[in-house]
Chains A and B, each alone.
Chain A
């Protein structure tokens, strides 16, 4: 399960958590998200996200 960060605004997508409020169930793989999907906060295309390996603050 990987995490992706929007390089336009910093919005993060976590495959494990999904985005249920935007129709993406927990466990939805990045590769399975449509190519025309855009950042819900700033409209950056999917290609403008970067895979990151940054832990959550709450796990610190």
Chain B
């Protein structure tokens, strides 16, 4: 087992984006609107951490305050952006022509390709908690696309469920990337099966999990490579994401 890095929750980059001042056009919302972003990898003004892992470039753990806070319409190319809603409601608007609302368990894959804009908004009355994952595309300037699905914690309890990637029931993505989620109702040691040629980034959303002798708590993460079997000693009430990527 190759441990590439362990990143504790408090070691991540942190940004607090307000809707006034320099970010006034970027951040939507009333003057008290605020987005907090914990970045696992270098992103925007945070450049002193890890550059990325395999095809992964962004892993953002974000909270949008209620009442219209979010990102105004802005452009992208090429990146494949996936969002996994943990709590609250996300209103997603894109130039492919989609206006969508996503709640806990819902997730999307937006491939910006040859060019697409989007807005990400919390128009609800409670905090929106969402994970944003950006990956490099398999091809440049592909036709833009948007697909969405739902992860059911009841159906998925105590087993590793593939959300995104080349598996039945998962959302397709134009890259060698697989995103899976594990939610446990009891303690156990599920095994994640990976290609030994790939790397796996594990991010604990809630609870606690032991992997390769390392105990990860809430919002801790680690990257591994060269392993076919990854044993996850998870406590009951653990919720985690696994992102497998070609290296």
- Chain A contact residues, CB within 8 Å of chain B: 3, 5-12, 41-42, 44, 48, 52, 54-58, 60
A12 and B141 contact, CB distance less than 8 A: yes
Contact flags B47-79 to A (C-beta < 8 A → 1, else 0):
100000000010000000000000000111111
Identify B140's interface contact among A8, A41, A42, A54, CB under 8 A.
A54
B84-92, B97-105, B131-139, B178-186: which lies at the A interface? B131-139
Instruction: Provide the residues of chain B in CB contact with A9, threshold 8 Å.
Output: 74-77, 79
Q: Is the CB of B139 within 8 A of A56?
A: yes
Chain B residue nearest in CB terms to A58 = B141
Quick one: which of A3, A9, A44, A56 has the most chain B CB within 10 A? A9
- A55's contact among B43, B78, B113, B139, by CB below 8 Å, is which? B139
Chain B: minimal CB distance from A55 (Å): 6
Chain A residues with CB below 8 A from B74, complex form:
9, 42
Distance, CA A7 to CA B41, complexed state (A): 11
Distance between A15 CB and nearest chain B CB, rounded to angstroms: 14
State the CA gap A55–B142 with chains docked (Å): 10
Q: B141 near A5 (CB under 8 angstroms)? A: no
Contact of B44 with A by CB under 8 A: yes
Contacts of B210 in A (CB 8 A): none
- B196 located at the interface, meaning its Cβ lies under 8 Å from any Cβ of chain A in the complex: no
Given contacts A7-B57, A8-B44, A10-B112, contact A57 B140 (CB under 8 A): yes
Contact of B79 with A54 in the complex, beta carbons under 8 Å: no
Residues of B within 8 A of A60 (CB): 139
Known: A5-B136, A54-B138, A60-B139. A10 touches B77 (CB 8 A): yes
How near does chain A come to B141, taking the closest CB pair, in angstroms?
6
| A11 touching B77 in the complex, CB below 8 Å, given contacts A57-B113, A57-B143 | yes
Bound Cα distance A41, B57 (Å): 18
Q: How far is the CB of A22 from chain B (nearest CB, A)?
A: 14
B136: chain A residues at CB < 8 Å are 5, 52, 54
On whether the beta carbons of B77 and A3 are closer than 8 Å, the reply is: no
| Contact indicator A42/B75 (Cβ below 8 Å) | yes
Name the 4 nearest CB pairs between A and B, nearest first.
Answer: A10-B79, A10-B78, A57-B142, A57-B139
Query: What residues of chain A lie closer than 8 Å to B140, measured between beta carbons?
Result: 3, 12, 52, 54-57
28 A-B contact pairs sorted by A residue (CB < 8 Å): A3-B140, A5-B136, A6-B77, A7-B42, A7-B57, A8-B44, A9-B74, A9-B76, A10-B77, A10-B78, A10-B112, A11-B75, A12-B78, A12-B140, A12-B141, A41-B77, A42-B74, A44-B44, A54-B136, A55-B139, A55-B140, A56-B139, A56-B140, A56-B141, A57-B113, A57-B139, A57-B140, A57-B143
